[in-house]
Structure 1
Amino acid sequence: MPAPFTAATVTVRAPATSANLGPGYDSFGLALSWYDEVRARVRSAGLDVRVSGAGAGELALDEAHLVVRAMRAAFDRLGVQPPGLELDCYNDIPHGRGMGSSAAAIVSGIELARSLSIGGRTRLDDAEALALAAELEGHPDNVAACLLGGLSIAWLADGRGNAVRAASAEQLAALGIRPVLFIPAEQSATRAARAVLPEQVPHADAAFNAGRAGLLVVALTGRPELLLAATEDRLHQGYRAAGMPAGAALITALRTRGIAAAVSGAGSSVLAFATGEQSEAITELAPPGWECAVLEPSSGARTSTS
């Protein structure tokens, strides 16, 4: 395969993510040990997209596929488009459940393009990759966690996505923090979940969330006993409760038992933080028809070649 592309097959393993974590609306994200795997190679012509797992038979198999769109955007930033592409998507992350499936697709596409292009990881560095991912996603929290792993804090400056990792997966695990996802059968739409949020909120609610967000950083970097208070929110969860009554009831039930819980992203899943022996019994609280997964923090997207 002539330059500027490698002849190798590139594989990206991208984790699910949970955003907001209660008070950190559009800024806090956590990478989780639940993965999509995408493989791609450059070929002489055409586009061949294959999908198995979540979204099989539903997702586009052409230029409209989100991984392909992210790859094209990254190739544009690199200044060159390949003559053809072959793409295999093995999707395990459920769609429409607040688990960052679109972020995983976007990050996978960007990482594939960077690694398929010779010198691509230098010409499109990590900061630029994050900024592009946030631009494509529309907000930086999930893509930041997917790229950086562990606990990340993201923000926009002049419309550009930025992020730092506040705690690695290993640091979170050392604190004995186990993320637990409760996943309903039904999907929810992020756009609809955002539409119910008011344009303005009371000053007292903004101040409440600022305090809780700061407390959440402390809780997840050394004081897990503060998680119950640290995951309280007044900016978005209350407004979304009517659209996800079963999830809202589950959050109340968990928190009544002293277990920190919050909406995962825009829903419909619920994220809980189990500590100590809580993870042994927490699965019993799943409503009928819901899946419950006891997970680990993830170190983020990983790329390999063969």
Structure 2
Amino acid sequence: MRLAADAVRVLVPATAGNLGPGFDALGMALGVADEIEVRAVASSSVTMEIEGEGADTLPRDESHLVVRALREALDHVGASQVGLHVRAINRIPHGRGLGSSAAAVVAGIVAARGLIAEPEALSAEVALDLATRFEGHPDNAAPAIYGGATVAWTDESGAHAVPLEVADEIETAVLIPRSVLPTKQARSVLPSLVPHKDAAFNVGRAALLVNALAGRPEDLMPATEERLHQQYRAEVMAATPAMVAHLREQGLAAVVSGAGPSVLVIGTDLASLGLGTGTPDWAAGIGDETWRCVHTIEHVPGATSVRL
């Protein structure tokens, strides 16, 4: 397959995985996005400009996730590899449970889609399957691709996802601490086996959450209870359970965002409850942390690309 464009700009949103009980299955796009600009150049080299998150730590060569995913996508459709100039404006916080690695992978795949002559060869379904090979699980990649809220799963044929209905009144707010927690560390504390009663508990709550998102916000508190991962991860992110407990005591449906340590709140009219975008005074010192908030009201679209 040939390339049909020399340059493309991609926007890809942050995401919250799990949404509490939907471990490795449920996810939602959030109102902050990375911007990636990719230009094909007549050489075999890779040059990168990085602004924002990770500007001092991320690689600027073939090992960067955006580049790796883009090259994998080009190989998948049989397109020629080219030299690349990549400019990344990273707004999604890293190591906070907001899907920054999934965003980078999806950005690379969607950039490849924007460059090739037949973009349908990298459909949403194909993009999700490719992204899941990088991520190992589809709960962040799915909303990064489809937008809104999604449920995703894998089987012998690969990864799949469908969008979920989310009522217009449903909003999210994510409280982001200064501290970081690598996903690998957060997963390392999870047990290999869980009690059957806990698995059954989560199945019921995840099903209830799907219904609550569709227009029954009064059920969000019970629907966001869970027993498969948050209690085990508490030992590696002490401030997070303190914030979750504080919010739930106020009647707010708070959960760990993805692998943490950020905290996601799902509800209605959240700004009036002190969860508008900014640095809420009431949050200062909870768990001996400093917190900032990102409030999302409207439906967040999945990754988009524009040829330049």
Offset at residue 277 of structure 1 (A): 5.5
Question: Pick from 188, 197, 203: which aligns with 1:204?
Answer: 197
Instruction: Kindly indicate whether the alpha-carbon contact (under 8 Å) linking 1:6 and 1:42 is maintained by their aligned counterparts in 2.
Output: no
Question: Pick from 282, 304, 307: which aligns with 1:305?
Answer: 307
Aligned to 2:9: 11
| Counterpart amino acid of residue 125 in structure 1 | S
Aligned to 1:194: 187
Offset at residue 285 of structure 1 (A): 3.8
Are 1:109 and 2:111 an aligned pair?
no
Question: Pick from 6, 17, 20: which aligns with 2:18?
Answer: 20
Kindly report the root-mean-square deviation, in angstroms, between the aligned alpha carbons of the 2 structures.
Answer: 1.5
Instruction: Kindly indicate whether the alpha-carbon contact (under 8 Å) linking 1:72 and 1:81 is maintained by their aligned counterparts in 2.
Output: no
Between the two proteins, the alignment pairs up a number of residues equal to 298
Question: Pick from 264, 267, 270: which aligns with 2:260?
Answer: 267
Offset at residue 159 of structure 1 (A): 6.5
Offset at residue 260 of structure 1 (A): 0.2
Aligned to 1:125: 123
Aligned to 2:92: 93
**Runs of 5+ consecutive residues of structure 2 not aligned to the other structure:** none
Aligned to 1:149: 147
1:68-120 CA deviation, whole Å, 9 max, x = no partner?
A: 0000110110112333111110000010000000011000000001111111x
Aligned to 1:59: 58
Are 1:295 and 2:296 an aligned pair?
yes
Q: Counterpart of 1:25 in 2: which secondary structure? A: coil
CA distance in 2, matches of 1:44, 1:223: 55
Aligned to 1:158: 156
Q: Counterpart of 2:104 in 1: which secondary structure? A: helix
**Runs of 5+ consecutive residues of structure 1 not aligned to the other structure:** none
- Cα 1:201–1:301 change in 2 (3 A) is same
Deviates more, 1:108-117 or 1:5-14: 5-14
Aligned to 1:286: 283
CA distance in 2, matches of 1:12, 1:263: 28
Q: Counterpart of 1:39 in 2: which secondary structure? A: strand
Question: Pick from 252, 256, 259: which aligns with 2:249?
Answer: 256
Q: Counterpart of 1:226 in 2: which secondary structure? A: helix
1:161-188 CA deviation, whole Å, 9 max, x = no partner?
A: 1110012xxx44x1x2221111110110
Instruction: Kindly indicate whether the alpha-carbon contact (under 8 Å) linking 1:279 and 1:294 is maintained by their aligned counterparts in 2.
Output: no
TM norm structure 1? 0.94
TM norm structure 2? 0.93
Instruction: Kindly indicate whether the alpha-carbon contact (under 8 Å) linking 1:12 and 1:111 is maintained by their aligned counterparts in 2.
Output: yes
